[in-house]
Structure 1
Amino acid sequence: MIRPIAAVALVFLVASCTSKKAEKPNQKTEKKAAAPAEKNVATQEVTPPQPAQPQGVRFNVRDGAKLPQGFELQFRIHGKTVAPAGTEPENPDKGHFHLLVDTDTIPAGTVIPSDKKHIHFGKGQTSAPLDLPLGKHKITLLFADGAHRSFGPEWASSVNIEVVGKAVHRRVYFVGLKDGDTVQSPLTVNFGLDGMELSPAGQNAQDKTKGHHHLIIDGKPIALGQVVPSDAQHKHYGSGQTTATVELEPGEHTLTLQFADGLHQSYGDELSTTIKVTVK
């Protein structure tokens, strides 16, 4: 009786092993089928929300800046639209700039006076030359509606500045090189400067009477207040250099000398000059 039972047990064991072997391919198949779903989940990218730009107004200068008379102040705003005075006076989203000199901000809803301390830019201007006596001043940029009613301190920005130096003729120029010249490469270029002082990049950053040279090859002058790029086309001379040697391909080229402050922010067209040269 023992042998038949052992035989039955052996048959049962073989059948069980065969069943488990048959189940393994199915398990692998299930894992392979599930793998793509796991991969898709892993490769999903979530773009984080971008922070909103804060509302308000600001100048193109910082607190403590030293500015020459005639310096071009720029007015900037985010959150409202600039429009001439009288345009939709009841529209809370439109208005124009006012410059307050050595005085307090006007409360919201109050009409801004028109005098030497309260300068209106009712044509919708977004810039103006600095015309203040020498010395230290507090200037406030204030936005108001079409009826000159202040939007209040929330839409104001104040900086303390020092006006230094009388208004003088400021310019940059090439020394010994003029428009239309035929030259050879490498070309040595000399930089000239009137009415400003040379200062290395990173130094005297808030002193708008100082700065350093940049040479732009086959490009345009940099707009006032914009940072001069740093690449093969825009060469920086941040150590205060007044001469440089550049390699140029044969043919016609434009050379633009651009002066900028200690933070590489351009002084604009006033302190730039462009010439054309032909390289043999």
Structure 2
Amino acid sequence: MRRFAVGVGALAVFAGQLAWSQTPANTTRTLHPWQAPMPAGNSEAYFTNLKSGDRIETPYVLKFGLSGGWGLAPISKPMAGKSGHHHLLVNRDLPLDFKAALPFNEQYIHFGKGQMETVLTLAPGTYTLRMLLADDKHLPHFVYSKPLKVTITKKNAVDPKSLVKPGLALTLSEGEQKPPFRVQFHASGLNVGHAAQQEKDTGHFKLTITSKTGAVAEMDFAEGQTEAWLAPPAGNYTLKLDFVDNLNPQQVLTGPVTATVKVKP
């Protein structure tokens, strides 16, 4: 299925009707009527811009996603429940012992600040890559991706840091949508975490949905989630994604992105 990611755009949307709030971690979440429950048995970490068999050049910005209602949380302040941080496994199978902490080396790359991407700098060759989520003690969750094999054809003389700039992306399937449909969030150069952690330099996603009739729904993903399933009534909508500061919910850490979508009956 083809997908597209929209860039930065400006849209002033003031929350009005149909307000939504999310309860603290480890309690029952209240979903807005326009939000669908996560599909059962669909908890996984995954790559959003790489598939098995791809041939790429490095440096390459590799992006991650997380499904099943799981959220990202920096390791500096422990969070229980459905939370963790990403790990990239290079030429490694899943661990045999999920009760042992993951090692720190070039084959187990940790993203303990709540990152959603990394810049691959691997030398030319064929590699097997896999994503794995783990808690603040680096103990794996049963949340991981299928392995994929990629071939790096060339390593270019490019500064990896020059490829990452703070910003957001909002991704959904192309064309008209039939509920429920998935919307994926991405933050570049930014760290995602639970609002309850009150961690400096982290934020969480906030999605505002506005219909042509003026109805507004706000969805605050304060537990570090990076995607949502939506089921609004048939009609035309504007989606606006913000990244809210976890220390100051009135402040955003980068500009918003927007997309328009037509929902079929």
Same fold at TM > 0.5: no
TM-score range, shorter chain: 0.3 to 0.5
TM-score by length of 2: 0.43
Pick the structure with more strand per residue. 2
TM-score by length of 1: 0.41
Larger Rg: 1
RCO (CA 8 Å, sep 6+): is it higher in 1 or 2? 2
